[in-house]
Structure 1
Amino acid sequence: MLGEATHGTHEFYSWRAALTQRLITERGFSFVGVEGDWPDCERIDHSVRMRPGAHEDPRDSLLEFERWPTWMWANEEVVDFTRWLRGHNATVDVPEQVGFHGLDVYSLWASLRELLLYLRENDPEMVPAALAAYRCFEPFTEEPQRSAPATRFAPLSCENEVVDLLVDLRERATHGAEDEFTAWQNAEIVVNAERYYRALVGGGPDAWNLRGRHMDETLARLLEHYEGRIGPGAKAVVWAHNTHVGDARGTEMAWSGEISIGRLARERYGEDRVVLAGFGTHSGTVVAGEAWGAPMAVMPLPEARKGSLEDILHLAAPPQAMFLFPADDRPDLLGHELGHRAVGVVYDPRREHRGNYVTTVLGRRYDAFYWFDESHAVSPLRTHAVDVLEPEAYPAGV
């Protein structure tokens, strides 16, 4: 699992890509799972695996990203990697081609639409059930956040409709069939997205944890699916924010009962089968928005807060470095609680020293850490439209 301290730093994206290329070519990794939406990433997956009807250039698939913040995946750094991945896949047999998949939970409406299209073509008898689920959300005009407050004042929920749909698809899904697996995954997203938006009303860690468990379960389904294709030994590279990749038990997140996919992976697979790698930077520039839905902008990333992990590494470490944390020999620094920078898609550099830091015990949170003293903004693509109704990483920004 390869992290990032921001969603808009060139070095994080380019070095994750370089590491992933080596994991694929030298260690036979099976797919990349990212902190992104399944339907959007499925278009990329079809392009890099040269599925019929897919774009020949993955860049065209990335240009179709519509939901804010588009720059998270629609950027030149991801273009370079996905073009490389398509070239790699052209040299191997179809079962060994490496996929690109979204792990996140936000694509409620897009997943519902994809389900309807699939069922109309492949299983017309199930269309009424899918339409019932779709119509349940229609009063909220594709703004699922509005369905959550409604449940506080009335017993209104779409859970029964979407769960009934999911049960049917689970029973019919065949793990070896790509289209049926995708339909099943979209149904899982609809169920968990409905629960996620309702959990936002109650506050606390429930919504965050539901999202984390959805990503963990999606990753597990993908590993099982790939093992059905290639046999035992499927392996995944995950790209997500440090707050997801790191083990939450090594941070202040654990104090409030929050989990992370890094922690869940260690618990599910065992610590000796999981590598958690964080990324960090001291200063530079970053792409972010001033508010939800605001135009993306290249912003200054000020020097890190005094006494933070980034400040200490700025004073003591080389400009670029990789740190490995052996379990039986950890320097004192790795046992200290230090502020560790975490920048989301919404960012205000003027508040840098009052927020944007997560108290962290570095040697418990990660197995490795990649350091870039000075960093630079990603290069976003100019996508055609931006939909802010279902914001990425809502409401936390990571």
Structure 2
Amino acid sequence: MCVLDSHILTFENLSPYVASERCPDAAPSLLDGDAQTPVSTCTDQIPGRSAALTDHSIGRWLPERLSSGTSPPTLCSHNMLPLRLFFLGTLLGTTVTLASTLPFQNLGLNVVGFADEPRDWLVLDRKGTTLDRTVKHEGAFSLKLKAVSSGQLAGISWNAKPWRGQTVVLSGWFKSRQSQATFLFETCPTESCPGDGHTPLSGTHDWTNFSLTLQIPQTAEMLAVGIRVSSGTLWLDDLSLTANGQPIAEAPPFMGPDATELAWLKDNSQPLRTETAAPDQSSADDTDLAPLGAVVGHARLIGLGEGTHGTHEFFTLKQRMVQYLVKRQGIRVFALEANAALADTVNAYIQGGPGKPESLLAGTVWHTEEMLNLLKWMRLYNKTTQNKLILTGFDLGFNSNLSELNVIQELVATVEPTYLSKVQDLLTSMSRDYYYTYAPINANKTANYQADRTMAETILLHFEHQKALYQHMLSVEQYQLLLRYVTRVWQFTGMPLYGPYTYRDRMMARNLEAIAHQYPGKKIVVWAHDVHVGRFPGRMGELLTQDLGAQYAVIGTMFGSGRYTAGPGIGQPLVEGNLAPPMYLGSIEQAFSQVGAPFFLDLRTTRSLPAAWLNREQDMRVTIGTSVAPFDVVRGNLAHLFDAVAFVPFSTSSKLLK
């Protein structure tokens, strides 16, 4: 037996980040390259908010504003995390429930996920990481990692709480050929990950038994296992765990519903039509959407999610849902996952204003024929009623070219020309410092980003202090618009400091609360990605549920396989035709695909047999956003995440406007 020295092991590049409860707005450090030193450690508290801003803050999720001379919360992360893997970690890692047995992790490497890949393992590069049917120690497969251009990385993680205070040993078998590799076995505690040890392996070895030992501290949140191969080839097989010398039982994999459960699904799923919605809703048949009305009930906010931002069927189905909710539920406010100034421009069009609708959403995921049809319908509907539809936006923006800044300059030039240079300084600085929603955090620019944030806060404070002057020169509506736009700019300056995930969702939840205050008594449709509207830990849907309870209803959308529109990488232009292969046996989508047609399922009815399998954690694909991610899978409780789900077996690409 080969025992590897593992007193402190580093799960570099893969372990999910677990935010400290004492640092709720902390974000991962995403450095360029393979940096091996932490950026910082987590501070114990967030700097205090300026007292003058108290009345302007709505909702308990507004992070503390940073006064001049303070610094942002430091980063609770260790090493560079690939952005995609961090995103999955924040969803997958934090949704694992506390259990006395280990949730299924595929330690034996004998359960197949996507073609020739181990189910439930996160894989960095699919070109060189596969299940090997020929070279194996025992069972059906081994995990083969062959370094290609950038090396190989694969791993898993789970909740560490059941094993706090115990000695956990990971054992297994490896075989290598001219390999340089690192075994990774680590705990991620409450405040930071250690980041100061790893277990290297080099050379050529026949099948060799190994063990790695960890003393699990009382602060541990996650346990993470992985293997990184920088050159050569390595095989891994037959992993197992013990705690204080006793075997840790691994739960069996869910391999899909049995015959009785599948029969229940088919009997309770309501058929849906996904054809393009009729321009005149009064003549359309919407009887298939009656179950939607039952789920929505008396909810004030209705989240309509989408598993991708580029599925034709999602757009057409959601347009029909919006038309149904307008007709049957009296919905009048439509909140879009878009920044405020962009949404206000679109709203001017649907109110009957001038402009070419084809150009209104250029540069966004909404620049599609399907969304254009929805906008034209909203404009047409508004011509028939005095109780008009309103479109608004609750997102922060996607790059530093914020259209809010242009409007702010126009209003300031009217009221206070001498202050215009302050706004222009912020615009110049933000244009110089790279901003993009999903860009990695660049610790080398922290001072620049903090300076931008301080400038934005100073400008907002100035407008609040000069309320009398601005309300004298502007209408009440214009002054409120000015405050709202500067607030959104200030929110956006936090993206490169706190990251694009829980921080962004907190801000969007706060903005939706502000919209609800702006339109008292009106029901609001919230159009966004499943990850935002769903009750994922720390995300917008969970925060809204905590505050609104049954006043927030959420419908997710999912698909089995097909094509979709997205960018090939972060920040790259959208293209049609990206392929998403069928989900594997044991996933929610594979089970749903057996129904054979689009359907709507009320998940509030899944608390008892034979539907209870939908009320426990399962694998699902809900992470395709603006860029391709067809293999990214999270594990979650579907009946907790959504009140209902609409499913289409096949996705086709949304049609981009030229």
Which digits, 9 at most, give the CA deviation of each residue in 1:319-361, with x for residues without a partner? 111111227845212222111112222216xxx4xx3211110
Displacement after TM superposition at 1:129 (Å): 3.5
User: In the alignment, does 2:391 pair up with 1:100?
Assistant: yes
2:519 alignment partner, SS class: helix
Residue 339 of structure 1 corresponds to 619
1:137 is aligned with what amino acid?
A: M
Measured in 2, the distance between the counterparts of 1:346 and 1:213 equals 22
Which digits, 9 at most, give the CA deviation of each residue in 1:274-296, with x for residues without a partner? 11111011112111222231451
Measured in 1, the distance between the counterparts of 2:323 and 2:621 equals 27
Measured in 2, the distance between the counterparts of 1:122 and 1:162 equals 18
Residue 228 of structure 2 corresponds to none
More helix by share: 1
CA contact (8 A) 1:150 1:156 kept: no
Residue 459 of structure 2 corresponds to 165
Measured in 1, the distance between the counterparts of 2:385 and 2:635 equals 44
Which of 162, 180, 192 lines up with 2:491 in the alignment?
192
Residue 323 of structure 2 corresponds to 21
Residue 218 of structure 1 corresponds to 511
Measured in 2, the distance between the counterparts of 1:117 and 1:148 equals 32
Distance 1:89 1:122, change over 3 A: farther
Displacement after TM superposition at 1:364 (Å): 0.6
Larger Rg: 2
Measured in 1, the distance between the counterparts of 2:541 and 2:440 equals 31
1:381 alignment partner, SS class: coil
CA contact (8 A) 2:433 2:449 kept: no
User: In the alignment, does 2:430 pair up with 1:137?
Assistant: yes
Measured in 2, the distance between the counterparts of 1:379 and 1:154 equals 39
Displacement after TM superposition at 1:42 (Å): 1.9
Measured in 2, the distance between the counterparts of 1:127 and 1:283 equals 52
Displacement after TM superposition at 1:260 (Å): 1.5
CA contact (8 A) 1:337 1:359 kept: yes
Which of 573, 590, 615 lines up with 1:311 in the alignment?
590
Residue 360 of structure 2 corresponds to 61
Measured in 1, the distance between the counterparts of 2:533 and 2:321 equals 16
Residue 90 of structure 1 corresponds to 383
Measured in 2, the distance between the counterparts of 1:23 and 1:303 equals 32
Which of 363, 380, 389 lines up with 2:639 in the alignment?
363
Instruction: Work out the percentage of aligned pairs sharing the same amino acid.
Output: 20
CA contact (8 A) 1:136 1:158 kept: yes
Distance 1:73 1:177, change over 3 A: farther
2:635 is aligned with what amino acid?
A: T
CA contact (8 A) 2:607 2:615 kept: no
Displacement after TM superposition at 1:184 (Å): 2.0
Measured in 2, the distance between the counterparts of 1:266 and 1:290 equals 33
Distance 1:119 1:97, change over 3 A: farther
1:100 alignment partner, SS class: strand
What aligned pairs does 1:1-398 form with structure 2 within 5 A after superposition? 1-51=303-353, 54-55=354-355, 57-62=356-361, 65-66=362-363, 70=364, 72-93=365-386, 96-107=387-398, 108-110=400-402, 111-124=404-417, 126-140=419-433, 149-152=443-446, 157-170=451-464, 172=467, 177-200=476-499, 207-227=500-520, 233-248=521-536, 254=537, 259-270=538-549, 272-292=550-570, 293-294=572-573, 296-315=575-594, 317-326=595-604, 329-330=607-608, 331-342=611-622, 343-347=624-628, 352=630, 355-382=631-658
Displacement after TM superposition at 1:47 (Å): 0.2
Aligned alpha-carbon RMSD (Å): 2.7
Displacement after TM superposition at 1:85 (Å): 0.4
Measured in 2, the distance between the counterparts of 1:156 and 1:215 equals 21
Measured in 1, the distance between the counterparts of 2:528 and 2:317 equals 13
Measured in 2, the distance between the counterparts of 1:162 and 1:25 equals 42
Measured in 1, the distance between the counterparts of 2:413 and 2:447 equals 35
Measured in 1, the distance between the counterparts of 2:448 and 2:506 equals 27
Structure 1 unaligned residues grouped into runs of 5+: 201-206, 228-232, 249-253, 383-398
Residue 394 of structure 1 corresponds to none
Displacement after TM superposition at 1:189 (Å): 1.6
CA contact (8 A) 1:137 1:147 kept: no
Distance 1:14 1:170, change over 3 A: farther
Structure 2 unaligned residues grouped into runs of 5+: 1-302
Q: TM-score, normalised by structure 2?
A: 0.49
Displacement after TM superposition at 1:138 (Å): 4.9
Distance 1:125 1:22, change over 3 A: farther
Which digits, 9 at most, give the CA deviation of each residue in 1:188-238, with x for residues without a partner? 1211111111223xxxxxx411100111111111121122xxxxx111101
1:313 is aligned with what amino acid?
A: F
Measured in 2, the distance between the counterparts of 1:285 and 1:245 equals 23
CA contact (8 A) 2:606 2:639 kept: no
2:329 is aligned with what amino acid?
A: R
Displacement after TM superposition at 1:146 (Å): 9.5
CA contact (8 A) 2:566 2:575 kept: yes
Displacement after TM superposition at 1:303 (Å): 1.0
Measured in 2, the distance between the counterparts of 1:168 and 1:8 equals 41
Higher RCO (C-alpha under 8 Å, 6+ residues apart) = 1
Measured in 2, the distance between the counterparts of 1:190 and 1:147 equals 18
CA contact (8 A) 1:30 1:226 kept: no
CA contact (8 A) 2:555 2:645 kept: yes
Displacement after TM superposition at 1:60 (Å): 3.8
2:348 is aligned with what amino acid?
A: H
Distance 1:187 1:289, change over 3 A: same
More strand by share: 2
Which digits, 9 at most, give the CA deviation of each residue in 1:77-110, with x for residues without a partner? 11111111011112222xx322222221125432
1:19 alignment partner, SS class: helix
Displacement after TM superposition at 1:179 (Å): 3.2
1:35 alignment partner, SS class: strand
2:401 is aligned with what amino acid?
A: W
CA contact (8 A) 1:151 1:198 kept: no
2:636 alignment partner, SS class: strand
Which digits, 9 at most, give the CA deviation of each residue in 1:266-313, with x for residues without a partner? 11222x111111101111211122223145131222111221100011
1:372 alignment partner, SS class: strand
Displacement after TM superposition at 1:371 (Å): 0.8
Measured in 1, the distance between the counterparts of 2:535 and 2:440 equals 32
1:338 alignment partner, SS class: strand
CA contact (8 A) 2:429 2:452 kept: yes
Measured in 1, the distance between the counterparts of 2:328 and 2:449 equals 54
CA contact (8 A) 2:433 2:448 kept: no
Distance 1:92 1:295, change over 3 A: closer
Q: TM-score, normalised by structure 1?
A: 0.79
CA contact (8 A) 2:576 2:655 kept: no
Measured in 2, the distance between the counterparts of 1:334 and 1:104 equals 31
Measured in 2, the distance between the counterparts of 1:80 and 1:134 equals 34
